[in-house]
Amino acid sequence: MTLKQGIKDGLAIGLGYLSVSFSFGILAVTSGLSWWQAVLVSFTNLTSAGQVAGVGIMASGGGLLEMAIATLVINLRYALMAISLSQKTDESMTTPARLFTGFFITDEIFGVASSGNQAVSRTYMTGLGILPVAGWTLGTLLGAVLGNILPSTVTNALSIAIYGMFIAIIIPAARKSKAILIVSIIAVCLSCIFYYVPFLNSHVSSGFAIIICSIVAALAGAIFMPVKEDETNG
């Protein structure tokens, strides 16, 4: 698989990232980051959920430990994707190549790379990552800069885009797997408790609330529903 094929496959992801990161750029600036800080966060992290939580922690004056734990838990899924993708790579994936292309492992890039029939090569994975990184960084820049110029009606409308994308990831998976549906409902209920109960809202920061809700919901799922339904159903 060639570099060119990778770039071609990365185009759709890059375009999607461009619009969603626009929403992140607005969010970051309204959270108190400057435009270049927002761009730097996107360029060095390339992750939606982790960045939204990370900027939330920055805005609330959170500590380094909170940042480290929140980032670890929220991005834990990448470890599993990395392990999974690792088994689909060819011999061109040397250790230095893995250290470089490992940066590109996101939900969408992993999805495209691992859904193909052929083994994933170093050049293909590099090509696949280029446009998503460009789109994610450029979209953040546009959102961060234009967010101040555009009328609030427009920026408010764009702010919800990133959550729309999250829902578009959750719902199809929850339709396929009852276990994922139940885990998601547990997470939503817990998250609402942390948000609406005054004591919890004022004593538990948003970063830790996400960590607690996610771990409890996923643990409950792992204990009571250890094998995914869509696997047993074929």
Binders of another protein in range 75-114 (CB under 8 A) = 75-87, 95, 98-99, 101-103, 105, 107-108
Nearest to 51 by CA among 80, 85, 87, 21: 21
Closest approach, Cβ 44 to another protein, in A, equals: 4
What's the CA gap between 24 and 91, in Å, rounded? 37
Closest approach, Cβ 3 to another protein, in A, equals: 19
Are 120 and 87 in contact, with CB atoms under 8 Å apart?
no
45 touching another protein, by CB under 8 A: yes
Span 122-151, contacts to another protein by CB under 8 A: none
What's the CA gap between 146 and 127, in Å, rounded? 29
User: Count of CB atoms within 10 A of residue 197's CB?
Assistant: 12
Nearest to 131 by CA among 46, 37, 74, 54: 46
Closest approach, Cβ 57 to another protein, in A, equals: 7
Among residues 37, 92, 114, 126, the one that binds another protein under rule CB under 8 A: 37
213 touching another protein, by CB under 8 A: yes
Region from 2-10, 114-122, 139-147, 167-175 binding another protein, contact rule CB under 8 A: 167-175
Among residues 164, 197, 200, 203, the one that binds another protein under rule CB under 8 A: 164
**What mask, x for binding another protein by CB under 8 A, covers residues 170 to 199?**
xxxxxx---xx--xxxxxx-xxx--xx---
Region from 2-10, 126-134, 197-205, 214-222 binding another protein, contact rule CB under 8 A: 214-222
Query: What's the farthest any 2 CA atoms get from each other in the chain?
Result: 55
What's the CA gap between 54 and 223, in Å, rounded? 29
Bridge partners of 17, per DSSP, are none
